[in-house]
Structure 1
Amino acid sequence: MQELLDPRNDFVFKRIFGSEDNKDVLLAFLNRTFAESGEPPLTEIVLLNPYTDKDAPLDKQSIFDIWAKTVEGKLINIEMQLFNKYEIEKRTLYYWSKRYSSQLQEGQTYKELKKCVTINILNYSFIANDRYHNVFHLREDHTGLELSDDIEVHFMELSKLDDQAIPVEGGLINWLLFLKGADKSNWEVLKMNEPTLKKAMDTLEFLSQDREARRLYEERQKYLHDEASMIEWAMEKGLKKGRAEGEHAKAIEIAKNMLSVGIEVSVIAQVSGLSEREIESLKPIQ
């Protein structure tokens, strides 16, 4: 039997959680997520960008985030981050705000705006505490009074999980241990705790044995490694705001290289010091 694919690869993650056939898997995962932030369980979820065979791993138009909506209209975005793209908090707020503001059509009032939830699953540590699941809302500093419930941001840090600490009851940690790649000998325990995990595991095993799925996975894995290496290289070069004017040409050259491998403009701006408008102007004319 071939080695299992890594479910932390965003292409594989979306195949498991973001397909119409596996909506029950996504629903179970979300209910365990929201249970930890004190919210009632969901009974139904609508996928706004379900996985299709047209989602090519190297196509810049393919989106491997999962966008979903509840029957009440609450919007949910789930993103798997295998490598650190830096400035994740600013990136999160930027994309959260775009999703939130895009709800309004011309002539609609602000009361039409629905809650937007962002769930970031990170393969690295980011928040300076020992909690593997942190949830953020908009509250008053002294009293904890909530200004609005419309913003909710989750960070799940797989690096903070103890692989040996297999839980004895149901809960989100079972799902996260599966995503982290817990020893397969522990799968039976995880399935007993969370029965819907069996379908996620069966999907992963099927994909791991499928030749075309493995080929697409390897293409995506190479792309993610190349992207991470490019960002690390640019960071090591110290290309950031405040650099000497003489380095401007070098910053442009590196920005072009990063554009060529599909790195987001906002990330390139952070590591190069160039403005997003300047970077946009470097894109080849279609």
Structure 2
Amino acid sequence: MGSSLERWMRFLSAETREEMEELTKEDPMIRKALTTLESLSQDPEIRRLYEERVKWLERHSADMEGAWQAGSEEGMKQGREEGRKEGREEGYLAAKREMARSLLRMGDNMNKVLEITKLPKEEVEAIQRELEGDR
């Protein structure tokens, strides 16, 4: 009735005592495991320790879920803050570029545009070439 592994899987997932007993007929090691399990479950101290362990695992799981939720919320908050900061920086840079375009269109010289916008010279030169290409 299946391999040893299959019998053990059925034993460990059995929902009734009858299912377990049926498997002991096929495998002496499963019979020994069932006897040991019954012996341990009759010992009040072992049962108490088991119940404490189950309660600890449940609390631990709840604590981990809470920590995950808090971490997730904190991560979302940080992500939004970083996104806003990047958006402000990009907006500020776009405004400086637009100011450089306007100054160059009005005929201001390169040094004045660089001084006012504080953009890198290569960027102002690229804007100037772009404007010359539009003409």
Task: Please give the TM-score of this superposition, normalised by the length of structure 2.
Answer: 0.49
Task: Please give the TM-score of this superposition, normalised by the length of structure 1.
Answer: 0.25
Whichever structure has more strand as a proportion of its residues is 1
Whichever structure has more helix as a proportion of its residues is 2
